[in-house]
Chain A
């Protein structure tokens, strides 16, 4: 029971659903349970239970007392129970609620982000939508703003090739620092906090791979892409910093500093005996070249414990300091 309710969202979500469903049903005059479910992207069962709840809801009369059975909703029960058709003859709530100032602002901030896409570069529907959302809100818009980022040449080229079904040649630098030329057929473009990722079919590997746009030294279209089976990858899994790593590394770190290494997706986090507030975190790296970066990330909050990795981190930082000294002298 608790789980089933959880799937329907939080209390405000469930209330909003009821307040949106009632005027929709009135407006449709009559609608089947399945149609309503499809429209709201929910289950017929949820529609049925909501209708049952709505149909027996009453409101207090002028003296403030509820008369039993004097609910103001009047539904055609026979049609509902026999034919799964919802038809209210009378209802006290016939209009859609306005958006809250926060709701309108959340959509607007999302639109600001979309405005950065090449697709919307010269469309003025965004301005029209802003005006409508502002008028559709019951209060002043919540003060939220997001910077609009110029897409840049790489994103423009990749998006154009994706839309036109073109193959791309990439000059790409991998997370391990290897520079490679790759031929890829674009599947999907995603971004997280301004960092763009291309999911694509890699012609050499004959498999799907994810490429970061900021690691593309150059990119160009090279004729038509092949058709490939639909991608099965879970979008949420594409952006984790973790890879099925070869090198396992343990870090002694203050527990309140764990967010620093959250995107390395620690495999385990164990308290260190007799060291309050400190934990031993195990992370996995694809390549030993990344150890130094991990050590720098941890900073004053901790240090690497695994002996070989510890030496590698020290050597990495010593090389950086030596290069820095040479750089300033030259």
Chain B
């Protein structure tokens, strides 16, 4: 039997559990080789004096996993040997690990948080909420009756959402292909991701574009293909960046006003009047959107129930969509 093919491999969560116990129990910290040779889950696969490269890579991934879960993993340099990873010691801070004593939740508050966690239907926000609620249940309070009969949910369907969340929390730069409306081909962008914000039901990324040297906002649904982490250390978000990005989108939304006329009593008429921020002057409706391209898609779908009066770019975009349907179905 070699080190890589043990009879029973310890399940990953057991290895991580033993790792947390070991790192909390230690006062002075443990070196990597102490951890790999003694902690269950590593020790069975550790070969003294040999190359344990795959086990070391495992340990690197495990460190990231623990940090992702909010476990305060500290690295202590050996005096006079800064950055020497062989001599570095690891431990979990016993001050920073536990929930502060004065953070307590009532049954009603937990009910509210439980409802808040259920807002997320899938993706990393749903995973993060579920784990947060497990931790909060551990505090021992029984969850009260949630607000009944109402359940707002938000989806994070964009494939870019998860990798961007991870990259932001780990402080990594990312590269992705971005398809701007009107462009035939996507462009590769290298950015420091700063914040994820949802506006008008759509996710946006606030990022610092490292090539164009400035802040940009990207619509997640226009990111095509995979998001790749890059080696460069990313700029990090300043407190309030997410709120600022949201405020900027709201400002854009207030200024982007389209004028349309809808056939009275039609589906378009009812839906557009009910749309947030719409107001009417007789037959003419003023409709808001952060993104005229997406608004053009929506308006074109109503066919002859709407006539678009302005701005001119929106009129052209909607007419172009209808002409394309005619041309493609001749």
Contact surface of A with B, Cβ cutoff 8 Å: 5, 9-21, 23-24, 27-28, 39-41, 53, 57-60, 64-66, 72, 92-93, 95-111, 113-114, 116-117, 119, 125-126, 128-129, 132, 135-140, 142-147, 149-150, 152, 154, 159, 162-163, 173-175, 177, 179, 186-196, 213-217, 235, 256, 292-293, 295-297, 299-300, 302-304, 310-311, 313-314, 316-324, 326-328
Contact, CB under 8 Å: B99 / A98: yes
Which of chain A's residues has its CB closest to B241's CB? Answer: A143
CB-CB contacts below 8 Å: B100-133 with A: 100, 102-103, 105, 108-109, 112-113, 115-121, 124-133
Contact, CB under 8 Å: A189 / B150: yes
Given contacts A108-B116, A111-B116, A295-B325, 16 further A-B contacts (CB under 8 A): A15-B69, A59-B18, A97-B99, A98-B97, A106-B126, A110-B117, A119-B147, A129-B113, A135-B102, A193-B154, A214-B270, A214-B274, A292-B303, A297-B301, A300-B328, A316-B325
Interface string of B240-278 (1 = CB under 8 A from A): 011101100110000000000100011101110111100
Contact, CB under 8 Å: A327 / B307: yes
Contact, CB under 8 Å: A66 / B38: yes
Chain B: interface residue total (CB-CB under 8 A): 128
Contact, CB under 8 Å: B69 / A16: yes
Contact, CB under 8 Å: B120 / A106: yes
Q: A255 to nearest B CB, angstroms?
A: 13
Contact, CB under 8 Å: A135 / B329: no
Chain B residues with CB under 8 A of A142 = 165, 168-169
In the complex, whether B300 has a CB less than 8 A from a CB of chain A is: yes
A18 with B13, Cβ < 8 A, contacts A24-B140, A299-B324 known: yes
A136 in complex: contacting residue of B24, B99, B140, CB < 8 Å: B99
B124 in complex: contacting residue of A24, A102, A194, CB < 8 Å: A102
In the complex, whether B234 has a CB less than 8 A from a CB of chain A is: no
In the complex, whether B309 has a CB less than 8 A from a CB of chain A is: yes
Q: A44 to nearest B CB, angstroms?
A: 16
In the complex, whether B134 has a CB less than 8 A from a CB of chain A is: yes
A110 in complex: contacting residue of B98, B119, B196, CB < 8 Å: B119
A10 with B127, Cβ < 8 A, contacts A17-B134, A60-B34, A117-B150 known: yes
Q: A133 to nearest B CB, angstroms?
A: 8
State in angstroms the CA–CA spacing of A317 and B328 once bound together: 11
Contact, CB under 8 Å: B125 / A129: no
Total A-B Cβ pairs within 8 A: 385
In the complex, whether B65 has a CB less than 8 A from a CB of chain A is: yes
Chain B residues with CB under 8 A of A108 = 116
Contact, CB under 8 Å: B297 / A297: yes
Chain A residues with CB under 8 A of B329 = 295, 303-304, 310-311, 313-314, 317
Q: A195 to nearest B CB, angstroms?
A: 7
Which of chain B's residues has its CB closest to A128's CB? Answer: B109
State in angstroms the CA–CA spacing of A245 and B2 once bound together: 59
In this complex, the member of A18, A28, A59 whose beta carbon has the largest number of chain B beta carbons within 10 angstroms is A59
Chain B residues with CB under 8 A of A300 = 324, 328
Chain B residues with CB under 8 A of A152 = 274, 276
> 29 interchain pairs (CB within 8 A)?
A15-B69, A24-B139, A39-B142, A60-B22, A60-B25, A93-B21, A95-B99, A99-B136, A100-B169, A110-B113, A125-B112, A128-B109, A143-B195, A145-B197, A192-B155, A193-B201, A213-B274, A214-B270, A295-B325, A296-B322, A297-B301, A300-B324, A303-B329, A317-B303, A322-B304, A324-B319, A324-B322, A327-B261, A328-B315
Contact, CB under 8 Å: B13 / A15: yes
Which of chain B's residues has its CB closest to A19's CB? Answer: B20
Which of chain B's residues has its CB closest to A323's CB? Answer: B304
B135 in complex: contacting residue of A103, A109, A186, A317, CB < 8 Å: A103
Which of chain A's residues has its CB closest to B149's CB? Answer: A188
Contact, CB under 8 Å: A114 / B325: no
A110 with B118, Cβ < 8 A, contacts A16-B131, A320-B303 known: yes
Q: B237 to nearest A CB, angstroms?
A: 4
Which of chain A's residues has its CB closest to B138's CB? Answer: A20
State in angstroms the CA–CA spacing of A10 and B135 once bound together: 15
Which of chain B's residues has its CB closest to A104's CB? Answer: B132
Q: B19 to nearest A CB, angstroms?
A: 9
Q: A228 to nearest B CB, angstroms?
A: 13
Contact, CB under 8 Å: A97 / B309: no
Contact, CB under 8 Å: B322 / A107: no
State in angstroms the CA–CA spacing of A311 and B318 once bound together: 20
State in angstroms the CA–CA spacing of A97 and B70 once bound together: 8
Chain A residues with CB under 8 A of B53 = none
Q: A32 to nearest B CB, angstroms?
A: 15
Contact, CB under 8 Å: A328 / B307: yes
B276 in complex: contacting residue of A5, A99, A150, CB < 8 Å: A150
Chain A residues with CB under 8 A of B55 = none
Contact, CB under 8 Å: A103 / B131: yes
Contact, CB under 8 Å: A303 / B40: no
Contact, CB under 8 Å: A97 / B135: yes
Contact, CB under 8 Å: B325 / A317: yes
Contact, CB under 8 Å: B153 / A192: yes
Contact, CB under 8 Å: B325 / A296: yes
Which of chain A's residues has its CB closest to B16's CB? Answer: A15
Q: A232 to nearest B CB, angstroms?
A: 15
In the complex, whether B188 has a CB less than 8 A from a CB of chain A is: no
A107 with B98, Cβ < 8 A, contacts A100-B128, A296-B301 known: no
